[in-house]
Structure 1
Amino acid sequence: MAVLVSVASLGGFGSAWANETPAATAEADDPFLVIVTARARQLYRANETTSGKLATAPLDSSLNIQVLNAELIRDQGARDAQDLYRNIAGVSLFSYAGVTARGFRQEEIFFDGLRGDPYVAFSVPQLFNVERLEFLKGPAGMLYGPGAPGGLFNYITKTPKTEFSARATAVVGTEARTGGSVEVEGFLPGDNAPATRLGVFYEDRNTPRRNSGSEVLILDGGVKTNLGPAALTLQATRYEQNLQGNRLRGVSTDNLGRFLTDRRWNHNEKSDFLDLTANVLQARVEWPVTESLKVDAGLRYSESLERQQYHEPRGLTDNNRDGVPDLSRREFRDQERDLDQLSFGANAVWSRDLGAVRNRVLVGVDAYRSELVNNNRPSLLGGFTVVAGLPAPLSLTNPVYGVTDPKTYNLGARVRTSAIQERVGAYLLEEATIGPFIATAGVRFDRYEDESAAATFEDEKATWRAGLVWRARPDVSVYGQWAQSYEPQGVSSQDPLAGGPFAPTEGEVLEGGVKTELLGGRLQTTLAIYEIVRTNILQSDPRGDVNGDGVNDMVAFGEVTSKGAEFDLAADLTNNWVLTASYAYNDTRITKTNGATVITNSVGERFANAPEHKAGFWTRYQFPELGLALALGGDYVDVRTSISGQKVRPYTVFDASVIYKVGPWSTLLRVDNLFDETYAASGFIDRTGHFPGEPRSVFLEVSREW
């Protein structure tokens, strides 16, 4: 169910189509937005994006950016990031907030173009204060520094407004779901009053797995004021997530991917939990220095504490010796992660026509520092039978909880470790337009330093990007790009005793495609073909401690190549009926080895959790005279393999929404997994099983606007 930057969409209830003249010039004086040619009335169409760092209409850009906007998030009743992945061509769930993007595992997240993900390791981003999600496909090292080659997630948060508006929402649904939210903007009186925003979100519900629940509280506020020629925006957010019966692993399967027990089975006791608290402060300055020079800068600070106590699956056993595993062996883990992050970024854009050449130059710098402190108790491994003071094994078919009490476990003292990351980068990008051709070239220099008790490592890296667009017609463009990415190896892997230091993992993409806005913008498509080559991936040496120094060695892998094609379509079938659809093909394979080992995240020649085919759609039909709209979506994910080589079976899931609006009142009736399909959303390792997709759920949301 893909939604493009250039999605054509419906107008409001009872509204005829307005003038279809492109509106790309509406924000043309702001160089920090990528403007999208749009019609006057929109539904799922995004008319701006900040992830490209240069204001460019989609048909003029060699970047491939997909946008999921506020209207789509609302119509799909999305609560967290996992609810949105199915909308993005080439992206599928891997684990928690991690995804497979164009064949590679990707976990890093940006907010408003800055590093500083407050959700730490195993918590999933919530969407209450998110205006839209932008996914920049392919390596983005030249623009953003270290990152995975499949793409980059950039969450754009809601900002203060000057015009008064308010919205109150209440929700009730299956799994004992209850909650509500309130948002108020532009509430200060006076014509020259600063822009303001306040928001509160709370929701409590059981989740489908036994013993598990989710309680979420988000407090969000901001103010924007003018400081002479510049505008200053200040934002503050508080996140609290209390997840009962977590951290959730998967459900055990056989080698053909069939669940060995009910998908609601949970390895955790009712007293287990994963709790997150996080505070985020953010400031942004925008300064139009002259008509041809624009400057902005952002500063983001976050402090997060993730605490968890849970029973980790340690493997299956056949207790009654009938040839079928029936018990899950468990260990108990008590972990704390304390993460502080500080991120800064600044950009300057200079525009000047040089004869027949329209010229734009982007200069930017960014810096990031994080300190992660782990404060964990050593894990406690139980046996196949109940042993006093140890975790009891759990039956797959008839689980009995509470047999042993974690309070009685003989745990060791906490072990404190820390890791510090520092990143500094500077970049230069030139864009030149000559007739129907738009050429872009950029370079970035990064310096990074990682420090832990095991090792301290520092290095520097240069990355490049080049793109070319040919405006074949006003409604058709042909584009191509070449770009690079890199990721420093984990600091613990740089230990000389483990064979370090190691050069970073590197990625390189060649991509070409065609973008269209046909029939006056009513039919828009993007076709992309790409090849990504990733080198120097690190893994454990299967020979273990090669030098006999007490530390297991690491080895650098050879090369993995991802080849694929993606097609996205958005069409106004009628004035009241809109359709978006997408298809992605991907083939990610090992193309070179080091002759000593094979990469951990592979089975034979294919990468784990990388489907060869993925397709989706989202369609909405409205009845303006009734104030009613019906929406239906579908998602197909092809067969995959888990990290351990077990089959992850293909699935097709349908979702539906009914939206009714009368005056200031609106209701959303949302049904997920309409036909209650039993499926695995992704695979992991055999001892923890596959992550089950949620069974059918329903909720009703009622909202009032002022």
Structure 2
Amino acid sequence: MMFRRGLMAAALGMQCVAAPALAEEDAPRDVEEVVVTARAQKLYRTEEVSVGKLPTEPLAASQTVQVINAELIHDLGARNAQDLYRNISGVSFFSYAGVTARGFRQEEIFFDGLRGDPYAGFSVPQLFNIERLEFLKGPAGMLYGPGAPGGLFNYVTKKPTEVFAAKASTVVGTGSRYGGSVEATGALPVEGLSARAGVFYEDRDTPRRNAGDKALILDTGLKYAFDLGEVTLQATRYEQDLDANRLRGVPVDASGRFLTSRRWNHNEPTDFLNFEANVLQALATLRPTDSLTLSGGVRHTEALETQQYHEPQGLFDSDGDGLVDATTRQFRDQIRKQQNWSVGVNGVWSGALAGVDSRVLFGGDWFKQEASLDNRSKTGLRTAQAGSPPPLSLFDPAYGLVSTSTYALGPFVRTYTDQKRAGGYLLYEATVGPLIGTVGARYDDFEDRSGATTFSDSALTWRTGLVYRIRPDVSFYGQWAQSFEPQAATSQTPLAGGPFAPTEGEMFEGGVKTELMGGRLQTTAVAYHITRTNILQADPRGDVDGDGVNDQIAFGEIVSKGVELDVAADLTPNWVLTAAYAYNDTRITKDNGRTVLTNAVGDRFANAPKHTLGFWTRYQFPELGLAVAFGGDYVDTRVSMSGQKVRPYTIFDASLIYTRGPWEALLRINNLLDETYAASGFIDRTGHFPGEPRSAFLQLSRQW
């Protein structure tokens, strides 16, 4: 409570103004390069691309990072992470904060280059205190250690600036949406000292019956700049109250069409998911010489998620007419806690080695997380029984028939999961004429504990890259990179045949980047081939050693092949277009002949569309203070984890932005044509996740 009151007082004690986009020198350097996907004439364009563990201009880098910057986040009217995925080629929604990236399910999230997601469990990152989102494509093991081979999300938070700026906003919209925010940044009356504070609150009814969403963010920061660098301290409080919002999908038929209303909810009105987290962070950058830059950070997170919800357990025909019309349910009462520490240090040296222009990247990181889950549950049957959750109709759901307080719940059962990660890396870059070559390696130690099972191991990952700048505005590039993911600690027991080596990823990628027409036309075209091996699955021989536990075997292989094309063009001084297309073919290429791989359906991979296309365009009328923005999103046919068809969809959104002096009005309309569609598939008993119906909100802001 004292933490929350202190943040509130700091935020309200400053003038109610909002920070514009941060200067590049205020941004932490935590990915290797930037490909600018969010740009418009002096609005979306980022002309200085200096962020990264190894700062590199796009045409000189062999890795690809797509960036959604503050201006695009604003024009999109984006409130949380799910609003941004369509703007990144090769990325589509999977569930909650998880996505499909280059064919693979990906849930790893970094903040300011540090491992550790404060949004525990089933909450989705909010964007109020986010300056930009960076997505590093492909395996990132050499830079960041364990992770999925499809890519890595890094959220860059807002930092204090010396230039005073501030903003106050209020919002109203459909679904009884209302809320407001204030934020301010500027210099303090101490040489080199600046601060930032912000408060965000929003309340709305979400589209599913009974469901609501309340969010509160209290954010503060203090920055001290001196001759050799700067130090930034940050403290953030996150709260979300999600009424009846521990959501699964809506059941579908064989063709992938919803059996009932997309607003159907399996949760009771009294169900909830409440989340709170406190985050403390310190970042530092030092420049002891012109050729050496050192940076580092440490973050501590404590998060608590409590939830009570009804989980769909099985569809059935309640009246004998041959049609499925109801589901049994299980009630779950859960408490999830996590506490983690994340530390990272990074250095870049530049100069000449043996007469060759060179740069050396070196650094390391350490991460420790302690997590626990307290769980108790009660499963109901097809007919209502005392002490059990009653079934629920798909077409005429009756809520509140039985109080959850009458359920015959057993005692809480607690499970623990602890993680330790430590790694160090070294990369060398050499430039010889138009050729730029890189080679780097990283060594990792990791230890996982789940209950009584503890497992530790190590891994060595490599990356090499080559760029050929055929012209100053055209370059060809290629890279080979590796990744690894430790197997779940619960699977490492010797009774099941463990321990097992990590799952491994390997990628070959090549493409061309351009900055034509004086930089007004930027393009990236890339083809890639990713192989994921050593995937754990059940041993077809069963209990091999006769100890009473069925064995497992690391045997599976998945291959992902694809092409991506990103275009950002200034069509006129007032008209900009960005577009992102991706083709992906992800296939199961090796299994044990009897056991289905996780997220696999036949030789396909769940929620991996072959084609996706997203675009966003904005036209501004400077003399009127008016801008009109319009975007679309197409996602091809997919299959759910149960093999059910997930139908393709196309939706459109729009924003209208009116500015008069320090005032701005933003009108945002989502799903203009009110299309009914599934954003992704899950399993047959829970159905597909429905996309949101048409909605709108109006945000009024005042800047100083």
Q: Does TM, normalized by the shorter one, top 0.5?
A: yes
Tell me what 2:389 maps to.
Answer: 391
Opposite residue 497 of structure 1, the aligned amino acid is L
Tell me what 2:578 maps to.
Answer: 580
| Residue 183 of structure 1 pairs with residue 160 of structure 2 | no
| Residue 198 of structure 1 pairs with residue 194 of structure 2 | no
Tell me what 2:69 maps to.
Answer: 69
3-state SS, counterpart of residue 71 of structure 1: helix
1:324 is displaced (CA, Å) by: 1.5
Give the distance between the partners of 1:411 and 1:40, measured in 2 at CA. 57
Q: Cα distance 1:85–1:36, how it changes in 2: closer, same or farther (>3 A)?
A: closer
Q: Cα distance 1:34–1:685, how it changes in 2: closer, same or farther (>3 A)?
A: closer
Opposite residue 670 of structure 2, the aligned amino acid is D
Opposite residue 647 of structure 1, the aligned amino acid is K
Contact kept in structure 1, 2:522 and 2:568, CA below 8 Å = yes
* Mapping for residues 620-635 of structure 1, pairs under 5 Å: 620-635=618-633
Q: Cα distance 1:355–1:32, how it changes in 2: closer, same or farther (>3 A)?
A: farther
Q: Cα distance 1:33–1:195, how it changes in 2: closer, same or farther (>3 A)?
A: farther
Opposite residue 165 of structure 1, the aligned amino acid is A
* Mapping for residues 241-320 of structure 1, pairs under 5 Å: 241-320=240-319
* Mapping for residues 354-393 of structure 1, pairs under 5 Å: 354=353, 356-377=355-376, 379-393=377-391
Opposite residue 298 of structure 2, the aligned amino acid is L
Tell me what 1:665 maps to.
Answer: 663
1:354 is displaced (CA, Å) by: 3.3
3-state SS, counterpart of residue 86 of structure 1: helix
1:593 is displaced (CA, Å) by: 2.0
Opposite residue 71 of structure 2, the aligned amino acid is E
Give the distance between the partners of 1:408 and 1:395, measured in 2 at CA. 21
Contact kept in structure 1, 2:241 and 2:272, CA below 8 Å = yes
* Mapping for residues 87-102 of structure 1, pairs under 5 Å: 87-102=87-102
Tell me what 1:110 maps to.
Answer: 110
Give the distance between the partners of 1:37 and 1:528, measured in 2 at CA. 12
Opposite residue 523 of structure 1, the aligned amino acid is L
Give the distance between the partners of 1:29 and 1:605, measured in 2 at CA. 43
Please list every run of 5 or more consecutive structure 1 residues that lacks an aligned counterpart in the other structure.
1-24
* Mapping for residues 642-657 of structure 1, pairs under 5 Å: 642-657=640-655
1:31 is displaced (CA, Å) by: 7.8
Select which of 511, 531, 554 maps to 1:556: 554
Identical residues among aligned pairs (%): 66
Give the distance between the partners of 1:27 and 1:434, measured in 2 at CA. 28
Give the distance between the partners of 2:321 and 2:106, measured in 1 at CA. 40
* Mapping for residues 585-624 of structure 1, pairs under 5 Å: 585-624=583-622
Contact kept in structure 1, 2:90 and 2:101, CA below 8 Å = yes
1:383 is displaced (CA, Å) by: 0.3
3-state SS, counterpart of residue 59 of structure 1: helix
1:583 is displaced (CA, Å) by: 0.8
Give the distance between the partners of 2:259 and 2:33, measured in 1 at CA. 50
Q: How many residues align?
A: 680
1:232 is displaced (CA, Å) by: 1.0
Q: Cα distance 1:161–1:452, how it changes in 2: closer, same or farther (>3 A)?
A: same
Please list every run of 5 or more consecutive structure 2 residues that lacks an aligned counterpart in the other structure.
1-22
Give the distance between the partners of 2:171 and 2:24, measured in 1 at CA. 36
3-state SS, counterpart of residue 234 of structure 1: strand
1:53 is displaced (CA, Å) by: 0.8
1:41 is displaced (CA, Å) by: 5.8
1:541 is displaced (CA, Å) by: 4.8
Opposite residue 54 of structure 1, the aligned amino acid is L
Give the distance between the partners of 1:389 and 1:43, measured in 2 at CA. 59
Give the distance between the partners of 2:229 and 2:85, measured in 1 at CA. 36
1:554 is displaced (CA, Å) by: 2.9
3-state SS, counterpart of residue 558 of structure 1: strand
1:255 is displaced (CA, Å) by: 2.0
Give the distance between the partners of 1:26 and 1:249, measured in 2 at CA. 40
Opposite residue 303 of structure 1, the aligned amino acid is E
1:576 is displaced (CA, Å) by: 0.7
Contact kept in structure 2, 1:46 and 1:67, CA below 8 Å = no
Give the distance between the partners of 1:166 and 1:576, measured in 2 at CA. 26
Give the distance between the partners of 1:96 and 1:29, measured in 2 at CA. 27
Contact kept in structure 1, 2:27 and 2:159, CA below 8 Å = no
Opposite residue 337 of structure 2, the aligned amino acid is D
| Residue 518 of structure 1 pairs with residue 523 of structure 2 | no
Contact kept in structure 2, 1:51 and 1:134, CA below 8 Å = no
Superposed CA offset, 1:649-697 (max 9, x none): 0000000000010100001000000000000000000011100000000
1:176 is displaced (CA, Å) by: 0.1
1:256 is displaced (CA, Å) by: 1.3
Q: Cα distance 1:165–1:80, how it changes in 2: closer, same or farther (>3 A)?
A: same
Give the distance between the partners of 2:598 and 2:541, measured in 1 at CA. 14
Superposed CA offset, 1:96-145 (max 9, x none): 11100000000010000001101112111111100000000000000000
Contact kept in structure 2, 1:216 and 1:242, CA below 8 Å = yes
Give the distance between the partners of 2:640 and 2:506, measured in 1 at CA. 25
1:405 is displaced (CA, Å) by: 1.1
Superposed CA offset, 1:563-582 (max 9, x none): 00000111111111100111
Give the distance between the partners of 1:650 and 1:597, measured in 2 at CA. 28
3-state SS, counterpart of residue 217 of structure 1: strand
Select which of 529, 533, 536 maps to 2:534: 536
Q: Cα distance 1:630–1:196, how it changes in 2: closer, same or farther (>3 A)?
A: same
1:700 is displaced (CA, Å) by: 0.1
Tell me what 2:431 maps to.
Answer: 433
Superposed CA offset, 1:387-409 (max 9, x none): 11110100000000011111000
Give the distance between the partners of 1:367 and 1:676, measured in 2 at CA. 47
Superposed CA offset, 1:448-474 (max 9, x none): 011122411000100000000000001
Give the distance between the partners of 2:108 and 2:120, measured in 1 at CA. 10
Give the distance between the partners of 1:683 and 1:242, measured in 2 at CA. 25
* Mapping for residues 344-493 of structure 1, pairs under 5 Å: 344-354=343-353, 356-377=355-376, 379-493=377-491
Contact kept in structure 2, 1:507 and 1:532, CA below 8 Å = yes
| Residue 170 of structure 1 pairs with residue 170 of structure 2 | yes
Contact kept in structure 2, 1:130 and 1:156, CA below 8 Å = yes
Give the distance between the partners of 1:552 and 1:311, measured in 2 at CA. 31
Give the distance between the partners of 1:588 and 1:243, measured in 2 at CA. 35
3-state SS, counterpart of residue 492 of structure 1: helix
Normalising by structure 2, we get a TM-score of 0.94
1:85 is displaced (CA, Å) by: 0.6
Give the distance between the partners of 2:553 and 2:390, measured in 1 at CA. 37
Q: Cα distance 1:545–1:696, how it changes in 2: closer, same or farther (>3 A)?
A: farther
Tell me what 2:17 maps to.
Answer: none
Contact kept in structure 1, 2:40 and 2:570, CA below 8 Å = no
Give the distance between the partners of 2:619 and 2:57, measured in 1 at CA. 28
Give the distance between the partners of 1:602 and 1:561, measured in 2 at CA. 12
1:161 is displaced (CA, Å) by: 0.9
Give the distance between the partners of 1:272 and 1:168, measured in 2 at CA. 33
Tell me what 1:58 maps to.
Answer: 58
Tell me what 1:6 maps to.
Answer: none
Moved more, 473-482 or 25-34: 25-34
Normalising by structure 1, we get a TM-score of 0.93
Contact kept in structure 2, 1:246 and 1:308, CA below 8 Å = no
Opposite residue 247 of structure 2, the aligned amino acid is L
Tell me what 2:695 maps to.
Answer: 697
Tell me what 2:568 maps to.
Answer: 570
Q: Cα distance 1:627–1:149, how it changes in 2: closer, same or farther (>3 A)?
A: same
Tell me what 1:676 maps to.
Answer: 674
Tell me what 1:159 maps to.
Answer: 159
Give the distance between the partners of 1:552 and 1:222, measured in 2 at CA. 52
Tell me what 2:14 maps to.
Answer: none
Contact kept in structure 2, 1:356 and 1:434, CA below 8 Å = no
3-state SS, counterpart of residue 518 of structure 2: helix
Tell me what 2:130 maps to.
Answer: 130
Opposite residue 179 of structure 1, the aligned amino acid is G
Contact kept in structure 2, 1:33 and 1:48, CA below 8 Å = no
1:495 is displaced (CA, Å) by: 1.3
Give the distance between the partners of 1:169 and 1:217, measured in 2 at CA. 14
Contact kept in structure 1, 2:33 and 2:65, CA below 8 Å = no
3-state SS, counterpart of residue 599 of structure 1: coil
Contact kept in structure 1, 2:33 and 2:63, CA below 8 Å = no
Give the distance between the partners of 1:513 and 1:548, measured in 2 at CA. 52
